[in-house]
Amino acid sequence: MSLFESWSAAFENRNADAAAACLHDDFTFVRHQSGTTMNKAEMLEMFKGFLSNDSVVMHSQRCLYENAEIMVEHSVMDFPDGSREAIMSFNTLKDGQIVRTETGATPISK
């Protein structure tokens, strides 16, 4: 199973532990809104909130490219405030896990 398959299955099954297994201990997430960063523990806390909330829904998650060094994905997400965003994620990989994620998001209508 590819890393993308494991990653997308974690979200499809709303399994925060499976998502955590995809993240390297040195993981950094660069927030597209502010340029601030989150570490693995902070990101997992956010995942737990998302995955436990039925109004957060990921649609059309697909891998655009994946090799041993990077994974590029696109998805559409619905959020608790009723908004929807198209999200492009660029993931840098290390030791078979995601070590850095940068995203770009575009608000879209439902």
Residue 72 · residue 64 · CB < 8 Å: yes
Sorting pLDDT into bands at 50, 70 and 90, what band is 1?
A: confident
Structural domain spans, the chain: 3-108
Dist. CA 20–CA 7, nearest whole Å:
9
Q: Across the strands, what pairs with 105?
A: 87
Residue 11 · residue 58 · CB < 8 Å: yes
Q: What is the pTM of this model?
A: 0.91
Tell me the per-residue pLDDT of 31-71, one tens digit each, with 9 for 90 and over.
877 889 999 999 999 989 988 999 999 989 999 999 999 99
One-letter amino acid for residue 31 of the chain: R
Strand, coil or helix: 81: coil
CB neighbours of 13 closer than 8 A, spacing ≥ 6?
Answer: none
Q: Across the strands, what pairs with 28?
A: 39, 100
Determine the pLDDT at residue 106. 93
In the chain, the percentage of residues whose pLDDT exceeds 90 is 83
Determine the pLDDT at residue 31. 84
What kind of architecture, by CATH, is found in domain 3-108? Roll (3.10)
